[in-house]
Structure 1
């Protein structure tokens, strides 16, 4: 039904509201809303014949002290409601308000979006549209606040994790009259945290090369970056697998979302599952109160890089296969599965095909990972890139060490070109850093290049002078033999009869890698 709204301005006096009301009633109209301010009255009357309306307006205008009568589009309370609605619809959190009977009275657009409501739930009971945990409903009912509580809420698209806050509303007598509830998706919270803390990412412009071989690989990686398929990076240690993984992420539509790097060999078996998939409250002794999301949840909408994927134990391989097949993860100690939108980039320097034959790696997981294989060649197969890499490292370490080295002598460069580089680009970087530290002139010379390990520079008579050195050399030799025999840090630990963590610590101590 059409309604008429007017603003009446007058010289303030007693009885003005009575005079206006009598005229409206005498004219046969019904006042549906009335707002009084000092010197102003806002009047809303229901639809009526036009001649009667003109008569009422004429009589109101003739009241003494009335000097203006103007039609308006909205009543003051309607403008306030529109303003409030605009405000709550502009925030990034979902907002719901309920009365003391848990009936929803307010729901903003964001709440409808993240909770997947098909229609506005105004007038419905909160527990009919949201399955909040019992303890949260009890706190709301008792008028107690809820602060930053992580909950799982089922939506039409499946269960999702939210951070919920609730503030009670009290009436004039101090009794609970309802509550205002705010909701935010955990994935959005993690994305916000990532945007505030994320490091400067690597792009393909940061990959230094000159050779045609590496250019072809870069072009291929740029092409596959646009998609969502799983990428498997193959190559020896030090060839730049993580560098390519980060560049692929930054070239992809996921560039503004998290990039999570995981070294599968560096995390002990006992912790790996909880690190990747998270755990619920009270799952094990020492678990963080309230539980913890796994790295797959942190990488939601982004990319997870699983380095040294061949080191995954069998039971983790099975769970990873399920993530690849279903796109769901389940925290340890929970029954609910949460959908995650994550692109997986894996990397290894191990012969996965041989591991599959031996039964050390699941065949079905291998084929799931090997959708787009990218092989990064060893440095000895593209030595034409050594000069440009050397120039790059000189500039890098000049800045780091505040030096002014201008280049490298031809015979020093020749020495680098003739070396076979078992450690690849990582080894070249270490050699250049050592040379930059030793260089006393503006040009790196042969005497500044130390490629072999320092132990060969020690004379036999000095090498085992101290017992501590004998123990260290023996320990180091045992590590190298176990690694050569087992092929991984985890198997080396079994050969030596120590824990996987002990082997990792010893490798770091001696500057070795599991390769």
Structure 2
């Protein structure tokens, strides 16, 4: 009759593999004899890669560390020791180990290590420290294209003064990143940096948000500082400033010129020292023409004007940005994605990027939620994107681009005829000198 009873060895093996801690044991020759299921999960190794081998054959240790398991085999027990090492495929592992020699009849017959995995905890702590220490600076910006490097150089120069800055660029080109970098590399870096999207707040609330309120100004009103007072000594970023009403633009202009602010319903003027940085995602001349921007406010803000190039005009930077976003989300998601395959690279180079750098980041984030291996493939990109990857007929040049090209050629021609005289050229074009200077800078003439 067949015996259904399990032997003690089988019971022990079952127990070891059910434990939620790693168990790794070596014999007196330093060869692995026990390597449980949890240990395989922690180290991303199969037991057949480790059994009957020395840990030193399979794992790599940092220069200033040794294997705690081999130390125990030499008679040195270790308790609650943190160890960082690498498996045979280069994956970094961090554990807390309790390691003891196995002594029988006064002789060391092996060693056993009890392991707790803290790899994810270590990454979380590192990510928190990184976020706490990270400051937007020009040195951290990713890009090597001439267009990008030129605007970075101009922005660096602007950080040396307290003049107003106007950042012009399409949605997603990184205007806020530039504004924070200008602030962080200026003499105001230790003071507040406050950002407000002017399109995100209703008109009825925007005035009190900017300038504050005095008690009794309206029912329920309390004494409350506005953004200008909160940013005193530092920098105030007003995003999409052209979405402000003409009334608020007029009040904003007065505050900038007089360097004082009066709370809504109040009577006292308070002196302020605030550097103003504003952003727009449209041509300011068009905004002025269509009464979305006061001309006098534009002149006051555009002491320094920076045009941020769209991603389609800086394709040399796509690979750098892609890798940068992969590293960012590797940290956030505790993943180890190494890059994108050749098909994705090709697609990225031919995509027109209407959402610019922000769109690229969102695509990488989305892909890393789907990827199973260590490489992002076309199948991991959004369907709405990949449908456009198939070969298409050559695109026709948009009308606005054609008009801009014609305008650029005509301005260059008149400038040359007038010996570079801006005032004379502006009169011939029927433009103000300021409008012509804007175009010269826009077209890099």
Q: What's the TM-score bracket when you normalise by the shorter of the two chains?
A: 0.5 to 0.7
The C-alpha deviation readout for 1:75-119, integer Å capped at 9, x for no partner, is xxxxxxxxxxxxxxxxxxxxxxxxxxxxxxxxxxxxxxxxxxxxx
Which residue of structure 2 lines up, in the alignment, with residue 68 of structure 1?
A: none
Q: Aligned to 2:335, which of 398, 403, 409?
A: 403
What runs of 5+ residues in structure 2 fail to find an aligned partner?
Answer: 1-131, 389-445
**Residue among 231, 234, 237 paired with 2:171:** 237
The reply on whether 1:264 has 2:198 as its aligned counterpart is yes
Deviations 1:37-67 (A, max 9, x none): xxxxxxxxxxxxxxxxxxxxxxxxxxxxxxx
Partner residue in 1 for 2:101: none
Q: Which residue is 1:448 aligned to?
A: 380
Aligned residue pair count: 257
- 1:354 offset after TM fit, Å? 1.7
1:417 pairs, out of 324, 344, 349, with 349
SS in 1 for 2:256: helix
Is 1:354 the counterpart of 2:286? The answer is yes
**Larger RCO of the pair (alpha carbons < 8 Å, separation 6+):** 2
2-side partners of 1:269 and 1:453: how far apart?
36
The question of 1:247 aligning with 2:181 is answered yes
Find the residue that maps to 1:233 and give its secondary structure: strand
What SS class does the counterpart of residue 182 from structure 2 fall into? helix
Q: 1:279 to 1:455 in 2, by over 3 A?
A: farther
Task: Give the Cα separation in 2 of the matches to 1:377 and 1:436.
Answer: 27
Q: Matched residue of 2:170: which SS?
A: coil
* Equivalent-residue separation in structure 2 for 1:351 and 1:244 (angstroms): 18
1:341 equivalenced with 2:273 (yes/no): yes
2:252 matches 1:323 = no
Residue correspondence of structure 1 range 146-185 to structure 2 within 5 A: none
Instruction: Select 1:429's aligned residue among 354, 361, 383.
Output: 361
Instruction: Classify the secondary structure of the residue corresponding to 1:292.
Output: coil
TM-score w.r.t. the length of structure 2 is 0.56
Unaligned runs of 5+ in 1: 1-197, 457-515
**In the alignment, is the contact (CA less than 8 A) between 2:243 and 2:292 conserved in 1?**
no
Residues 264 and 451 (structure 1), Cα distance of their counterparts in 2 relative to 1, 3 Å cut: farther
| Aligned-partner Cα distance in 2 for 1:421–1:359 | 29
Q: 1:363 aligns with which of 295, 309, 320?
A: 295
The equivalent of 2:409 in structure 1 is none
**Residues 91-170 of structure 1 mapped to structure 2, 5 A cutoff:** none
Q: Distance in 2 between matches of 1:376 and 1:405?
A: 30
User: Structure 1 residue 376 and structure 2 residue 305: aligned?
Assistant: no
Instruction: Decide whether aligned partners of structure 1 residues 209 and 219 sit closer, same or farther in structure 2, where only a CA change above 3 A counts.
Output: same
Deviation track 1:392-449 (CA, whole Å, cap 9, x = no partner) reads 0111111111111111111111111110000000000000011111111111112112
Q: Over aligned residues, Cα RMSD in angstroms?
A: 1.8
CA distance in 1 between counterparts of 2:213 and 2:386 reads: 46
Query: Does 2:178 match 1:226?
Result: no
Match of 1:203 among 114, 128, 137: 137
- In structure 1, C-alpha distance between the alignment counterparts of 2:153 and 2:287, rounded to whole Å: 30
In our comparison, the structure showing a higher alpha carbon Rg is 1
Question: Which runs of at least 4 in structure 1 moved beyond 6 Å after TM superposition?
Answer: 453-456
CA distance in 2, matches of 1:201, 1:270: 34
Match of 2:238 among 287, 295, 306: 306
- The verdict on how the C-alpha distance between 1:204 and 1:267 changes in structure 2, with shifts beyond 3 A counting, is same
Under a length normalisation based on structure 1, what TM-score does the superposition of the two structures give? 0.48
Deviates more, 1:385-394 or 1:206-215: 206-215
Following superposition, the deviation at residue 251 of structure 1 comes to 0.7
SS in 1 for 2:195: strand
| 1:278 pairs with 2:212 | yes
Q: For 1:241 and 1:350, locate their aligned partners in 2 and report how far apart those are by CA, in whole Å.
A: 13
Residues 455 and 446 from structure 1, CA distance in 2 versus in 1: closer, same or farther, beyond 3 angstroms?
A: closer
CA contact under 8 A between 1:431 and 1:451: conserved in structure 2?
no
User: Is structure 2 residue 221 aligned with structure 1 residue 287?
Assistant: yes
Contact 2:211/2:227 (8 A) holds in 1: yes
Q: Work out the CA distance in 1 between the residues paired with 2:151 and 2:387.
A: 37
The alpha carbon displacement at 1:285 in A equals: 2.0
Q: Which residues of 2 match residues 477-488 of structure 1 at below 5 A? A: none
